C-alpha cells in the first residue's frame, strides 16, 4: 500500500479499508482523488489477499462531491473553437468516468459506508459500488442540477437500476436532499445505522463475512450480477455456463463441501 | 395555445398545465384526445418558455381510459381478409402509441397529478410521464385484461421499469384495483396527498421548483435517464460525455456558479 | 397427467396444481425433478384447458434446492482434460437451465406458493415463475455461495429484475437468510400469508381469478411482460402492435364486451 | 398526387415513380425537398394502390446533395450560447434525418435509379432505399468530408451494412469518387446499365415484377429484412413467427397456390 | 445411426455425411424431414467421434423446399377464431424454425454441398449451415414470395449477414433464380465445382481437413463466430476470454505445439 | 517520440508511420510489442499533430503473429487449481486484447500496409485497423487453429464484419493461406500493389490525403462508423445528431466552405 494524498488505505482480515481522507475539505474530489482511486482499485484487483473493499470518508462527512476548483481548471483549458473544446471536454469527462468505472469493474465487492454529506459526485461514486450502508441521518442529493449541468460521471447511468425510474427523476430534477432513512426505503442503501461508529462496525462485519466465503464464488457472483445490468437473461445464462465450466473445476467446491460435512468453517485459498 | 376540444392548456410561471377536459365523460380518451395530445406536446417541445408540464384531469377523475366508442369504430373498419385487417390494426395501434410517445419523448419533464379513476389507457398514459403524484384514494387498474386484450399503448412496456416485475404481473393479469397508498408503496407514484386540491398545489410547487433550474441541465438530465431505460451503462456514459461536450460550454454553468457564490437565486435564459 | 416421481400434478377449474413431491427429502431437486419439470411444463403449454399453474412443495418446505447427490454425480463424470471437462460441465449447466427456462417460457402464468425452506436452486426456480407468494415465516437464502460456486441456473440472471441491484448483491454475496416478510418488503414475494394453508387457499383464489379472464389476453400480457425484461421500449411497442394485429381479431373481445354490457361474467373458450 | 415543387410523382401499374425535379439545380436538396419527401412517402404508405416506388432524378444527374443555401440558413439561426445552439442544431439534424427515415420505414420497396452525380446527401438518401441501380458512369462520393463535417443524415449509419466496413471507411475519409461499375463491385448498386434510358427501363421492369407479387408477402418480407439490420437472429425468428401468425391467414396464399396449380398469373388484392 | 425415413446418415473419418434422401420428391421437406433433422443434429452434437458434418441431397437436386402437402395440412388444422388460429400458426412456425436452429447451433461445422435446385425452404436450411459449396449450375431462389408469404424459417433472418443487404432484398422481393456462379460472386457459396461428383469430393476434402484439427479449437472458433452474428465486439472479446480461460488448459495446445516442433501431424483426442 | 524496442515511430506531414521493427524475428509479437503498442497509440491519440497512422512491418514480412515464447511463459505461470488458473488466463487474454483495442479505439484513422506474412495474431491486429492494403503476394492465414486454440485477440470478433460470415468460417476452421489478391476479392484489403515499395508509397499517399481533411470531420466520421459496428441505425442517427450539435459549431466548416468558394486548398487547425 503506497502513500496516497487523498486516501488512506488499510488491509486487515482480507478486507481493504479505503478512506477518502480530506476531512478538512469535506472530502471534496480533487485531482489527486481522481488519479489515486484508479491506482487503488487496480491494486485491489491485482492483490489476491484483498477479498472485499469498504469505502468510507474520514471525518463527519462521506464527501461533498467534485472539487469546484477542478471544474474551474478544466474550464480554463478551453480555447475559441467550439468543436475542439467539445473534443477536450468529452475526453476529460471520459477520463473522470474511468475513475469510477475502476470501482464498478473491480472484481471484488465494494461496500460503501456513508455518513453526513453525500452530494453530487459522491452519488456518482456510491452508485458504482456494490452495496451502500448509511447512518440514518446521512444526507444525499444529486447536486449537479444546481451547478447547471446534467450529472455525467455515473449517477444518471447507474442509479435508475438501483432505485427505479420514478423517484430517480424527481431526485435528479429537483436536487432534493433525502436522509438515510428515505434512502433505505427507496433501495438506495441496504440498511441504516444509528451513528458513524455503528455504521463502520456493521459494514466491516458484513465485509468480513463475505471475505470468509470462497473468493472464486464471490468474484463469479459479482461478475454475473454486473453482467445482468446490461444483458439479456438468455445471454446471462449462457455466460454463467461458460464461466462455471472452468470454475466448477476449482478446489473451492471440495473445500466448501468438506467443511459442510464436517460442520467446520472452510478455509479457502486466496 | 390554440383551442382544444379534449384538453385545457394554460401556461404560467414557465409551467404548462395540461388538463384532460371531458369531465362529463370521466375524461375518456376519444379521437380528439389522441390527436390533440400530440399537437400539445409538440408545442411544449418547441416553446422555450415552457419548462415543465403538469398533466391532470378535470373533475373528479383523472381518466377512465380509452373511449369504447373509438374501439368500436376501429372494429367497424375491418374487412374480410385477416391479413389486411392485421395490417390495418397494426398501423392503428402504432398510431395510438405515437400519441403517448410524444409525452415520453417530450424534452421537458411531465408530472402527472392523479385523482379518482386512473384506468386502462390512463395507466398507459401516466407510464409515459416522468413522475406521478396522486391522492391517497385514487384508483388504479390495468383494465385492458377485462376487455379481453393485452394492453398495447405502453403500460406493459413502460411500467415494469417503474414498479418491478413481480407485482407488475399480478396487476396486469388480474386487473386488480389499487389505491394511491398502495401505488406509492409499489413505486408507481412518488407521493400521495390528502385530496385533489392539495395534490395540485403540491405538484405545481414541485413543477415550479424544477422550472427554476437551468433548462439546459434539466433537459440533459431527462434525456440521460430516458436513454438508460433502454441502453447499457457503458453506452450511457459515452452518450452523456458527448452530450455534455457541448452543453458544458453553455452560459448556464457560469450563471449557476455566480448565483452560488453570491447566495442569490440564479436566473436562466429559456 | 402421467405419473411423475418427483411431482404431483392435478388439474381443476382450469388451474394446474404442480407440487414438488419429495417431502421426505425436503423436496431436493434430483435427476427425476429436472427431467419431469420439462415434461410437465410442455404439457401445460400444450393443454388448452390449463390456463394457470400453481407451483408448490409438499410437506413443511418448498424445497432445499439441488440434490447434492446429483452434483457429486456430475463431478464423477469428469476426466483428465480440463478443456473437455469444461465442455461437459458447460453442457450440463445448460441442460439444467433448460428445465427452469421451461417454466419461464411457459405461455401461461405460473404462481409459486412458498412455505418453509426455499434455498439455493429453489430460488433459481421461483425466479422463473411469474409471481411469488409465501408464508410470513418462509426462509429464503441464495445458498450457492456456501457451496463455493456462483449460482448458475437463473437466480443471478432473473432476480435482479425483481428485487433491484443493491439488496440483490448483499443476498448473493452473504447467502443471508430472509423470511417471508422481508422478502415481501424487497419485492421478492407479492404477499405473505399466516400459514401454509392460508397461503395455498390465497394463491388458488388468485389463480382461479386469472383463469376466468380471456386466455388470449392473459397469454398476450405474459408474452409482453416477459419480452420487456430483455428488450427496449420501442421494440416492445412494435412487438405488441404486431401481436395484437392478430389477437384483436379474436372473439374474446366481443365476449368480454358483451359480458361488460350485460353485467354478466364472461365465458371464454379455452 | 398533389402538386410538389421539388418532385414529380406519377402512378401507373401500381408503381409510383418519384422524381427529384430540380434539374437546373442538379437536383440539390432544398427546404421544399426535405418537407415534400415526407409527405410523398406518407402518401405512398397510405395508398394501397402503390406497391413499389422508383426514385430517380430529372435531367443528367441524380442529385448533388444538400443545397448549401439551406446549410447557410441553419447557420444564421444560431445565437451566442453554445449550449442552446447545440440544442437547435441537434433538433435540426433530427428533423432532416426524419425525411430519409420516411423512405427507410416505408412499408413498400423503394428502388433508386441513379445516373450522373450522386453526391453527399444523395448517398444518405440512396442508403435509405431498398435497392440501388445505376448507369455504369454514374459518380458517387461521400462529399461531406470536404465540407468539414461528418455525414449526419444516414450515410455513416446505413452504408456499412451494405458495402462492408473496410471500403466504407476509405470512401468516407477520402471522399473519393467511384463510378457505377466500382459501386456494383462493392455491392452499393445491384446492377449497372449502359445509359439513363436503359436504366429507367430496367428498374421499372423490376418494379413491375415486384408489384405483381402478393403485397402482403412483399411488405412482410421488407419488414423482416429491415428488422434484421438491427436485431438478433433469435429475435428475428420470433418476430416473423408472430407476424406470419396473422398474415398466413390472408387470402393471398390461396390465390398464389391456385395460380400455381392452374399455371396462371395470380391477381392479388391491393 | 438409427434408421431415418427422409435422410441417409453415414460416418467415416470423423465426418458425418447427412443426405436428404427423397430424390423422387426432389427432396421436398415433409413431416419426417422436420422431425428427423433435429434428432440427427442432436446425435451429431452428442457424439464425440463426429467432428464435421457434410449436408447434401440425394439425386439431381439438393431440395425443392417445404413439401406443399405439409403446408396444406397445417391449414386444415385451423378453426374459426382468428386469435386462436394465430396462436396455432405461431407455435407451428416456431416448431419448424427449431429444426433449422438445431443445425445452426450444432457445435460442429456443417458444410452444405448443393447441386440442382435449392429453393424456398432449402435456402432457409443452407443459411443455417456454416459454409456452402455448389455446382456452377446449381439454382437458388427464395421461392416463398411466390406462395404469397414472407419466408419464415430463417432465410430473411440469416442471409443478410452472409450476402449483404442490397442484393438480399432484390432476391427476396423478386424470387429471382441465380446460378452457382452468381451465388459465389454474392458470397452465398464459397466455391463452385464443375459437377456434383467434383462437388462432393471437394467438400469432403475440406471436411476431412477440418476434422484433423483440434476439436476443442474448432468448436470454440465456431461458437465465437456464431456469437458475433448477434453481439457487440466488446462482448465478443469478453466472451472469448472467458471461454479460453478453460480451453487453453486443454491438452490440445501441447499436442499441437509438439506436432509443430516435430513437424508431424498432430493427433487430437475426440 | 520515445525510444521503442519493438517499433520504429516517425512523424511527418501529420502522418505517423508506426513500423513493427523486429525483422530478424519476422516481427513476432513479444512482450515489448504488446506493451509498447498501447503507449504508441495513446501518444497518437493525445498528439494533435498526428492526424493519420500508417502501420507496417520492417523487412520482408508484416508479422508472423504472437511470439510463441510469450505463450510458453504464460503457461509457466499456471498452478494447480483450475479455477484460479482460469482467472489468470482470462485476465491475461483481456490484457492482450487491450493492446489491439487501443488501435481500434484510436480517434485517428489507422491504415495497415501489409507485405509478406500476416499470420495469426497479425490478422487480429489488422482487423483492428481502419483499412488494409497489401502487396498482391502477401500471405494471410488465421493460424491459431493450428496451435489448437480459438483466436482470442480480435480476429473472430472483428473480421466477420469485414469479410462476411461464409468465407470467414472457412478461413478460421481451416487456417488456409490466401494471398493479397484473394484478400482483396473478399474485402479484407481495399487494394493491392505490385511490391512493398509501391505499397508503402500508395498507402502514404492515401494517408496524406486524409491528413489534409478537417481533423474534426475525420475523427467524427471514424467515431460514427466504429459506433455502427455494434449499434442500431436509430441509435446511430441520434448519436451523430448529438455529436454534430457541437462539431458543426467548429470553424472547420467555415474554412472548408471558404476554400471551396475560392477554389483553394483548405488549411485546418490541428
CATH number at residue C234: 1.10.12.10
Stretch (H or E) spanning E71: helix E68-76
Contact assignment for F245 to D90 by CB distance below 8 Å: yes
* Sequence-ordered list of residues with C-beta below 8 angstroms from that of E228, at least 6 positions apart, any chain: E236, F156, F157, F160, F161
Reported as type and span, the H/E element at residue B263 is none
User: Is F152 a known active-site residue?
Assistant: yes
Q: Please tell me the predicted confidence (pLDDT) of residue F2.
A: 65
Are B257 and A94 an interchain contact pair (Cβ–Cβ within 8 Å)? no
Task: Clarify whether residues E153 and E196 are in a common domain.
Answer: yes
Residue B268 domain-assigned? no
The verdict on residue A158 lying in a domain is yes
DSSP C164: -
- Is residue C89 within 8 A of residue A249, CB to CB? The reply is yes
- Window 234-253 of C: residues touching E by CB (8 A cutoff) are 246-252
Nearest to residue E98, comparing CAs of E175, E166, E153?
Answer: E153
Closest by alpha carbon to D137, among D206, D204, D183, D186?
Answer: D183
- Would you say residue C268 lies in a domain? no
Same domain? E195 vs E175 = yes
How many residues does the structure list for chain B?
270
At residue D84, does pLDDT exceed 70? yes
Of A196, A211, A226, the domain-final residue: A211
* Residue in chain D lying closest to E128 (CA): D233
Helix intervals (H) in F1-106: 31-46, 68-76, 82-104
For A215-268, the pLDDT digits (tens) are: 999 999 999 999 999 999 999 999 999 999 999 999 999 999 889 889 899 999
Q: Burial of F10 by CB count in 10 Å (0-12 exposed, 13-18 middle, 19+ buried)? A: exposed
Cell numbers describing residue C257: 364486451
Provide the pLDDT for residue A71.
86
Residue E192 near residue E184, CB atoms below 8 Å: yes
Q: A245 and C152 in contact by Cβ < 8 A?
A: no
Q: Give me the DSSP letters along A24-92.
A: GGTT-B-HHHHHHHHHHHHHHHH-TT--EEEEEESTT-SB--B-HHHHHHHHHT--S-HHHHHHHHHHH
pTM of the model: 0.96
Q: Please say if the pLDDT value at position F1 is more than 80.
A: no
How many C-beta atoms lie closer than 10 Å to residue F13's C-beta?
13
Q: Choose the catalytic residue: F57, F65, F116, F121.
A: F121
Cell numbers at F216, concatenated: 474534426
Percent of chain C having pLDDT more than 70?
A: 99
| D52-74: pLDDT as tens digits | 999 999 999 999 999 988 988 88
DSSP letters along A80-127, please?
A: S-HHHHHHHHHHHHHHHHHHHHHHHT-SS-EEEEE-SEEETHHHHHHH
Residue F74 predicted with pLDDT over 90: no
* pLDDT, position E117: 98
pLDDT band at A270 (very low <50, low <70, confident <90, very high): confident
Instruction: Name the residue facing F220 among D101, D150, D165 (closest C-beta).
Output: D150
Judged by CB atoms closer than 8 Å, whether chains meet at B87 and D251 is answered as no
Q: How far apart are CA F131 and CA F137, in angstroms?
A: 18
Q: How buried is B137 (Cβ within 10 angstroms: 0-12 exposed, 13-18 middle, 19+ buried)? A: middle
- Asked if the model's pLDDT at residue C2 lies above 70, the reply is no
CA distance B76 to D227: 31
Alpha carbon distance, N-terminus to C-terminus of chain A: 18
How is the beta sheet containing E178-179 ordered, strand by strand? E117-119, E139-141, E178-179
Looking at residue A2, its pLDDT comes to 65
Compute the nearest-CA separation of C226 from chain B (Å): 9
Picking from E100, E103, E154, the residue whose alpha carbon sits closest to that of residue D237 is E154
What CA–CA distances, in Å, run from E27 to E101, E104, E183, E188?
20, 20, 21, 21
Euclidean distance between CA atoms D167 and D177, whole angstroms: 12
Catalytic residue list contains A205: no
In DSSP terms, which residues pair with B110 in a beta bridge?
Answer: B53
Residues of chain E whose pLDDT is less than 50? none
Summarised one tens digit per residue, pLDDT across range A127-148 is 999 999 999 999 999 999 999 9
Classified as helix, coil or strand, F18 is strand
Which residues of D are less than 8 Å from F256 in CB distance? 146-149
- C220·B149 Cβ contact <8 A: yes
Rounded to whole angstroms, how far apart are CA atoms C99 and C83? 25
Distance (Å, rounded) from C-alpha D116 to C-alpha D135? 8
- Has residue B68 got a pLDDT over 70? yes
Q: Are residues F39 and F57 in the same domain?
A: yes
Question: Residue D45's CB: how many other CB atoms inside 10 A?
Answer: 15
Residues D152 and D49 in one domain: yes
- Confidence band (pLDDT; 50, 70, 90) for B1? low
Check residue D1 and give its pLDDT.
56
Alpha-carbon distance of A249 to F82, in angstroms, equals 6
**Residue scoring higher pLDDT (B53 or C164):** B53
Res. F6 pLDDT band, cuts 50 70 90: very high
Quote the CA–CA distance of C135 and C191 in Å, as a whole number.
Answer: 8
Going from the C-alpha of B223 to that of each of A83, B109, B127, B227, B236, the distances in angstroms are 22, 10, 16, 6, 10
Q: Which residue of F has its CA nearest to D172?
A: F221
How far apart are the C-alpha atoms of B41 and A210, rounded to whole Å?
Answer: 51
Mean per-residue pLDDT of chain C? 96
C121 assigned to active site? yes
**Given D209, D225, D266, which is nearest E156 (Cβ)?**
D225
Residue (of A135, A127, A142) closest to A229 by Cα position: A127
Find the CB nearest E172 among D221, D234, D257.
D221
Please check whether residue C114 is in contact with residue C133, taking contact to mean a CB–CB distance below 8 angstroms. yes
Q: Are strands C52-57 and C110-114 parallel, antiparallel or unpaired?
A: parallel
Same domain, yes or no, for A205 and A235?
Answer: no
Residue E218 CB: number of other CB atoms within 10 A?
A: 26
E46 and E63 part of one domain: yes
User: Maximum distance among all alpha carbons in chain E?
Assistant: 72
Residue F40: C-alpha distances to residues C201, F2, F5 (Å):
70, 9, 12
Q: Give the domain CATH number at D188.
A: 3.90.226.10
Q: F243 near B242, Cβ under 8 Å?
A: yes
Residue D268 inside a domain? The answer is no
Last residue of a domain, one of F211, F227, F252: F211
Does residue A22 form part of some domain? yes
- For F200, phi and psi rounded to 5 degrees? -65, -40
Give residue A260's pLDDT.
Answer: 84
Both A140 and A179 in a single domain?
yes
Domain-located, residue B2: no
A205 and A256 in a single domain? The answer is: no
Q: Around Cβ B265, how many Cβ atoms within 10 Å?
A: 7
- Does A220 contact C164 at a Cβ distance shorter than 8 Å? no
Number of structural domains (chain A) is 2
**Residue-number span of the structural domain to which B234 is assigned:** 215-262
Query: How far is C-alpha A5 from the geometric centre of its chain's CA atoms?
Result: 19
Does B2 have pLDDT greater than 70? no
Farthest CA pair distance, chain C: 72
If DSSP codes are grouped into helix, strand and coil, which group holds residue D17?
strand
Quickly tell me which residue has 474534426 as its cell: F216
Which tens digits make up the pLDDT trace of F135-190?
Answer: 999 999 999 999 999 999 999 999 999 998 999 999 999 999 999 999 999 999 99
Same domain, F247 and F171: no
| Residue D216 in grid coordinates | 402482403
Q: Does C87 touch chain E (CB under 8 A)?
A: yes
Give the separation between CA B124 and CA B153, rounded to whole angstroms.
6
Could you tell me if E60 and E195 are in contact, meaning their C-beta atoms sit under 8 angstroms apart? no
pLDDT tens digits for range B228-247:
999 999 999 999 999 999 99
10 Å Cβ neighbour count for A91?
15
- Mean pLDDT over the full length of chain F: 96
- The answer on F52 and F76 residing in a single domain is yes
Single out the residue of B198, B249, B247 nearest to residue B222, CA to CA: B247
Q: C107, D113, E236, C47: which is closest to F94 by C-alpha?
A: E236
In a shared domain, residues E173 and E229? no
Q: Give residue E246's pLDDT.
A: 95
Report the DSSP beta bridge partners of residue C110. C53
Q: Is F144 a catalytic residue?
A: yes
User: Is F239 in contact with B239 (Cβ distance < 8 A)?
Assistant: yes
CB < 8 Å from F in window 40-79 of D: 68, 78
- pLDDT given for residue E1 in this prediction: 56
Average pLDDT value for residue range D129-150? 97
pLDDT mean over D239-249: 96
Q: Is B29 helix (H, G, I), strand (E, B) or coil?
A: strand
- Select from A155, D97, A79, A83 the least CA-distant residue to B220: A155
The bridge status of strand C15-20 relative to strand C7-12 is: antiparallel
Q: Other C-beta atoms within 10 Å of A105: how many? A: 14
Same-domain pairing of F55 and F189: yes
For the question of residue B124 being annotated catalytic, the response is yes
Q: Which residues of E touch C251 (CB under 8 A)?
A: 81, 83
Q: What is the pLDDT of residue D72?
A: 85
Mean pLDDT on C160-174: 95
Query: F251–A81: do the CB atoms touch at under 8 Å?
Result: yes
Chain position carrying cell 454529506? A117
- Mind telling me how many Å the CA of C243 is from chain D's nearest CA? 6
Pairwise CA distance, residues F113 & F63, whole Å: 11
Q: Distance from first CA to last CA of chain E, Å, rounded?
A: 18
Judge whether A268 lies within some domain: no
Q: Which of F146, F230, F138 is nearest to F189 (CA)?
A: F138
Query: For residue D235, is it within any domain?
Result: yes
The alpha-carbon gap from E235 to the nearest alpha carbon of chain A, in Å, equals 10
Pick from B152, B154, B165: CB nearest C244: B152
Amino acid at each position: 500500500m503506497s502513500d496516497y494524498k487523498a486516501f488512506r488505505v488499510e488491509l486487515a482480515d482480507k478486507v481493504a479499508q479505503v478512506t477518502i481522507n480530506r476531512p478538512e475539505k469535506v472530502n471534496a474530489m480533487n485531482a489527486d482523488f481522481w488519479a489515486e482511486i484508479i491506482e487503488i482499485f487496480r491494486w485491489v484487483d491485482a492483490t489476491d489477499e484483498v477479498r472485499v473493499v469498504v469505502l468510507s470518508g474520514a471525518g463527519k462527512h462521506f464527501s461533498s462531491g467534485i472539487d469546484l476548483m477542478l471544474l474551474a481548471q478544466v474550464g480554463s483549458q478551453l480555447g475559441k473553437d467550439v468543436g475542439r473544446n467539445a473534443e477536450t471536454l468529452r475526453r476529460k469527462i471520459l477520463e473522470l468516468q474511468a475513475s469510477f468505472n475502476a470501482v464498478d469493474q473491480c472484481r471484488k465487492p465494494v461496500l460503501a459506508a456513508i455518513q453526513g454529506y453525500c452530494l453530487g459526485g459522491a452519488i456518482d461514486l456510491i452508485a458504482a459500488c456494490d452495496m451502500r450502508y448509511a447512518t440514518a441521518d446521512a444526507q444525499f442529493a444529486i447536486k449537479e442540477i444546481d451547478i447547471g449541468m446534467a450529472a455525467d460521471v455515473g449517477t444518471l447511468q447507474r442509479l435508475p437500476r438501483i432505485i427505479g425510474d420514478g423517484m430517480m427523476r424527481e431526485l435528479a430534477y429537483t436536487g432534493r436532499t433525502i436522509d438515510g432513512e428515505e434512502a433505505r426505503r427507496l433501495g438506495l442503501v441496504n440498511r441504516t445505522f444509528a451513528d458513524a461508529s455503528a455504521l463502520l462496525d456493521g459494514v466491516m462485519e458484513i465485509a468480513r463475512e463475505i471475505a470468509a466465503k470462497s473468493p472464486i464464488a464471490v468474484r463469479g457472483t459479482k461478475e454475473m450480477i454486473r453482467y445482468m445490468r446490461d444483458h439479456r437473461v438468455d445471454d446471462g445464462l449462457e455466460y454463467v455456463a461458460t464461466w462455471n465450466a472452468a470454475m466448477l473445476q476449482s478446489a473451492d467446491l471440495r473445500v466448501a463441501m468438506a467443511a459442510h460435512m464436517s460442520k467446520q468453517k472452510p478455509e479457502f485459498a486466496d
